[in-house]
Amino acid sequence: QVQLVESGGGLVQAGGSLRLSCAASGRTFSRYAMGWFRQAPGKEREFVATISWSGGNRYYADSVKGRFTISRDNAKNTVYLQMNSLKPEDTAVYYCAASGAAGIHYDEYDYDYWGQGTQVTVSS
Q: Are 86 and 122 in contact (CB under 8 A)?
A: yes
What is the structure's pLDDT at 45?
A: 97
* pLDDT grade for 28, boundaries at 50, 70 and 90: confident
Choice among 9-18, 20-29, 79-88, 111-120 with the minimum mean pLDDT? 20-29
| Angular region, 62: left φ>0, alpha ψ -120 to 50, beta rest | alpha
Chain segment 40-87, per-residue pLDDT in tens = 999 999 999 999 999 999 999 999 999 999 999 999 999 999 999 999
* pLDDT grade for 101, boundaries at 50, 70 and 90: confident
What is the structure's pLDDT at 27?
A: 66
